[in-house]
């Protein structure tokens, strides 16, 4: 895709946003949907871009890396064009921009649901559902919804988030849609939420997430690579995607960790965001290709 071609597409997107809001729904109806969630490989490679709606705009050493929407969309389109990349995870604004750019045909599209726990806020654990609903995901022809579940035993806001996630799992499953749950045990350190990345903490988080909702038939998990992944993944039979997290200091070590965990039977792929979109060398296509190679 040439810079000029993308500039033209962006110009049309901005114009449609201003003068023809119905274009979003029209693009959703035109989108060619993928027939099956998993491709021929039985794996999924998803690029995540739901960070800005939580006010989390940094990537690696760049505190406002994701603040430039045109640049973010161009990076997303580059990744989605790479062979082996199956789809995207995002909030409505991102998904609708990509629909208007014509970038989502034959792609898995997952809507991000709870973005109310704003990064760094005193109320961060109170992670309210402020983006997609299960009803909107189904109406828009999306393939599922994702929710973040951070459990802080000392924060009174935790039960409300657990309950809201359980409701979303039930509502998505009732429509036959994937419910992607990203669970963590968390606590505050110097006033900021930190996720506990020990095997024992992840086992507990997975156990709690697996039991959410009236059925787990459509539940998938999204978890980080931590020590002793074989023991961690033995805590559930649910299909699981590995998350990419922050831009790693050592990309080769991150790839090796994903590759080793991919051998476990219920690990089905990757959901990678900033480390794919903003790699240290800024080679977005190369980072996407390297992540796809892990799935093989």
pLDDT of 36-55, one tens digit each? Answer: 998 788 999 999 999 999 99
User: What is the topology classification, in CATH, of domain 3-295?
Assistant: TIM Barrel (3.20.20)
pLDDT tens, position by position, 113-140: 999 999 999 999 999 999 999 999 999 9
What token pair was written down for 38?
A: 């998993």
Place of tokens 């909107």: 136
DSSP code of residue 184: E
168 burial type by CB count under 10 A (0-12 exposed, 13-18 middle, 19+ buried): buried
Domain boundaries, the chain: 3-295
Please tell me the chain's helix, strand, coil percentages from 3-state DSSP, rounded to the nearest 5: 40, 20, 40
Q: Decide if pLDDT at 167 tops 80.
A: yes
pLDDT of residue 191: 85
Whether the CB-CB separation of 258 and 294 falls below 8 Å is answered with: yes
How many Cβ atoms from other residues are within 10 Å of residue 85's Cβ? 23
Q: What is the pLDDT of residue 2?
A: 53
The per-residue b/e assignment along 25-60, b for 16 or more CB within 10 angstroms, e otherwise, is: eebbeebeebeebebeeebbbbbbbbbbbbebbbbe
pLDDT in tens, 109-119: 999 999 999 99
Q: For all residues of the chain together, what is the average pLDDT?
A: 95
What tens digit of pLDDT does each residue of 73-99 get? Answer: 999 999 999 999 999 999 999 999 999
């Amino acid at each position: 895709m040439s810079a000029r071609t993308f500039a033209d597409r962006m110009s049309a997107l901005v114009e449609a946003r201003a003068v023809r809001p119905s274009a979003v729904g029209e693009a959703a109806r035109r989108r060619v949907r993928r027939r099956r969630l998993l491709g021929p490989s039985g794996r999924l490679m998803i690029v995540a871009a739901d960070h800005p709606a939580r006010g989390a705009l940094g990537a690696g050493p760049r505190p406002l890396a994701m603040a430039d929407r045109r640049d973010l969309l161009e990076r997303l389109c580059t990744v989605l064009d790479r062979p082996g990349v199956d789809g995207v995870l995002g909030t409505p604004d991102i998904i609708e921009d990509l629909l208007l750019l014509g970038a989502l045909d034959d792609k898995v599209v997952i809507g991000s649901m709870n973005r109310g726990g704003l990064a760094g806020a005193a109320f961060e654990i109170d992670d309210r559902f402020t983006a997609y609903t299960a009803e909107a995901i189904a109406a828009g022809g999306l393939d599922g919804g994702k929710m973040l579940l951070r459990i802080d035993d000392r924060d009174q806001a935790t039960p409300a988030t657990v309950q809201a996630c359980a409701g979303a799992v039930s509502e998505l499953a009732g429509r036959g849609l994937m419910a992607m749950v990203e669970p963590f045990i968390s606590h505050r350190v110097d006033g900021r939420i930190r996720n506990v990345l020990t095997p024992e903490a992840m086992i507990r988080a997975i156990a709690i997430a697996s039991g959410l909702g009236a059925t787990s038939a459509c539940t998938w998990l999204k978890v980080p690579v931590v020590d002793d992944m074989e023991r961690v993944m033995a805590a559930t039979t649910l299909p699981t995607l590995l998350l990419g997290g922050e831009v790693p200091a050592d990309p080769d070590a991150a790839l090796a960790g994903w590759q080793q965990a991919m051998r476990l039977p219920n690990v089905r792929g990757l959901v990678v965001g900033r480390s794919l979109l903003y790699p240290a060398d800024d080679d977005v296509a190369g980072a996407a290709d390297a992540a796809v190679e892990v799935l093989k």
